Amino acid sequence: ANNLLGFDASGNPVAVVPASGSAADVLVQLANNTDPAKGSALVGYLPSGTGAAGRTVQSKLRESVSVKDFGAVGDGVTDDTPSIQAAINAVKAAGKGAIYIPPGTYLISSALILTGVSNMLIYGAGNDSTIIQTNSATADVFYDAGISYWRTFKDFSIASSVTKTAGNSFNLTNERRALFDRIRITGHFNQLVLFARRRRCISKQYLG
């Protein structure tokens, strides 16, 4: 790995280690996507505008998590449940964050667990472009048995490839200060099930 193709005196192919600091070595370091100290960490970024502060491209890209960062495919065939759950778990570990779901149809086979995740935004590219589709007749799509705050769900659709006999699109217990914005839900046994503690406000916009 990280070697160049060369040839010996007889014309036979050999692996050549690029000299440190050479142009070839720099290209190898920039192409590295396994070492967090290389790749995008070596590229600078400066926003436009007076007073803008420079930082690395890596820092900029890490402002938001994409489910594709964790291997989601979005082809409507591959089971993307583990990948989307891994993105949710990453935001949980960070204590807050945004999860982007790019255009595509993301097949899930079991509930996505949101328990213990507050201060979170899950957003798509629009409810015609980003679709979360379950193939379970009974499972929820999003589930949370705990108490959570300040969550926003926006710009995606929830659908089912099978006839639902149970389960909810959102099954959230003790949800506080949540926003549902431009969400389309079709083909579900129950669409939105929320339980909010008294004196707590839930603001929602919902497209059914």
Both tokens of 29, joined, read: 């370091």
Confirm if 102 and 68 have CB atoms less than 8 A apart. yes
* pTM, two decimal places: 0.73
The amino acid that residue 158 corresponds to is I
Question: Which domains, ranges and CATH numbers included, belong to the chain?
Answer: 64-208 (2.160.20.10)
Tens-place pLDDT, residues 116-152 = 898 999 999 999 999 999 999 999 999 998 888 889 9
Give burial (CB, 10 Å; 0-12/13-18/19+) of 19: exposed
d(CA 174, CA 196): 5
pLDDT at 167: 86
